[in-house]
Amino acid sequence: MKRRSALKWIGTSLGVLLASGQSRSASNTRPWKTAVGLNGFASGVGKYQKNYPIWEVLDFAAQAGFDGIELVDGWPSGGYPAADESDRIRALRRLYEGFGLQVFSIQLGADGAFLPDEQTRKAWLELFRNRAQFAKSVGCECIGLWPGGGLRDQSIDEAIQHLGDSFHEVGKIAQDCGLIAAFEIEPPFVFNTEDHMKRIFEKADHPCLKIIYDPSHFDLMNSSTGKPHEMLQRIGVKNIGYLHLTDTDGTLRDGGTSKHLACGDGHVDIDLSLRILRDGGFHGWIMIDSWEIPDPYEACLKGKAAIDRMNQ
């Protein structure tokens, strides 16, 4: 779906509210805020050689009634500003706020958080501190973490110990910045089971360190049954920081991570997951994760429609 077709669908097929003052006011009374993830558009550039000008993506998000954006490092151009680069941060914030959108989160790698060398882990924590301060300055409420990378001459138990210790410090830094830090593990990671997730979370043991609920990853960690909500219930709604909302068919995409599909295109009961979150008292951000989905615009619209059915 081209952007023009997507915007026509907004007005005629889905009946999505435009980003007017009235729609924004209504969204503020709902328990969930909705966001577009730039990672989906970035992956489309790399995998499908498509072109997504950032101003088109932001105009689409605003017209579709989304509240915010999750940034991804390196796309559309360059890395994140350092915390002391106030001019760059002001310009970046002005770009998104000009479309009526909040940068609600940034994505960060966390491989340095579990390396065997203590000094290397401390250096990663200093980098995280800088990124958290940047996130606060650009208007974020959350900050996302992905602990990929290899074990580097340590056992999985040692790596979980190191990661839990680092994530405890992450929680303290996030608290100082008024943020919620949340982490996600994926099938290709060395941390790739429900048990790993629980052990990391329990070791971190900080109220500002939460878990990202991504139905595609939860589904594969729940034996690809199409019932990621079962794992969500075992993890606990209260422990969820924010969502990466996507459907899946329970397989890997081209040998990579969990296959992401637009809501309704896979075997997950998305409405049931959202109902469990709503009934469990989840308040916060839901980002549409269109990672390597060929049409991220369509995926965003289908995901937003699913949210709107429950976001009352």
pLDDT greater than 50 at residue 15 = no
pLDDT digits (tens, 9 = 90+) for 91-118: 999 999 999 999 999 999 999 999 999 9
Dihedral sign computed on CA atoms, order 17, 20, 23, 29: positive
pLDDT digits (tens, 9 = 90+) for 43-65: 999 999 999 999 999 999 999 99
pLDDT at 80: 98
pLDDT at 32: 98
CATH of the domain at 295: 3.20.20.150
Measured between alpha carbons, how far is 229 from 251 in angstroms, rounded to an integer?
17
How many folded domains does the chain comprise? 1
DSSP strand pairing (142-146 vs 68-71): unpaired
Band of pLDDT at residue 22, cut at 50, 70 and 90: very low
What is the pTM assigned to this prediction?
0.92
pLDDT digits (tens, 9 = 90+) for 117-148: 999 999 999 999 999 999 999 999 999 999 99
Measured between alpha carbons, how far is 95 from 77 in angstroms, rounded to an integer?
13
- DSSP for the chain, written as a single string: --HHHHHHHHHHTS-PPPSSHHHHHHHTTSSEEEEEEHHHHHHHHHHH-----HHHHHHHHHHTT--EEEEBTBBTTB-PPPTT-HHHHHHHHHHHHTTT-EEEEEEEE-GGGG-S-HHHHHHHHHHHHHHHHHHHHHT-SEEEEE--S---SS-HHHHHHHHHHHHHHHHHHHHHTT-EEEE---TTSS--SHHHHHHHHHHH--TTEEEEE-HHHHHHHTTT-S-HHHHHHHH-GGGEEEEEE-B--SSBSTTSSBPPB-TTSSS--HHHHHHHHHHTT--EEEEE--TT-S-HHHHHHHHHHHHHHH--
What is the distance of C-alpha 216 from the center of its chain?
Answer: 12
Q: Domain range spanning residue 186?
A: 3-310
Measured between alpha carbons, how far is 216 from 278 in angstroms, rounded to an integer?
19
Neighbours of 46 (CB within 10 A): 10
Structural tokens at position 38: 């730039």
Band of pLDDT at residue 30, cut at 50, 70 and 90: confident
HSE (CB half, 13 Å, CA atoms) of 304? 29
Band of pLDDT at residue 11, cut at 50, 70 and 90: low
Measured between alpha carbons, how far is 96 from 62 in angstroms, rounded to an integer?
10
pLDDT at 29: 73
Band of pLDDT at residue 14, cut at 50, 70 and 90: very low
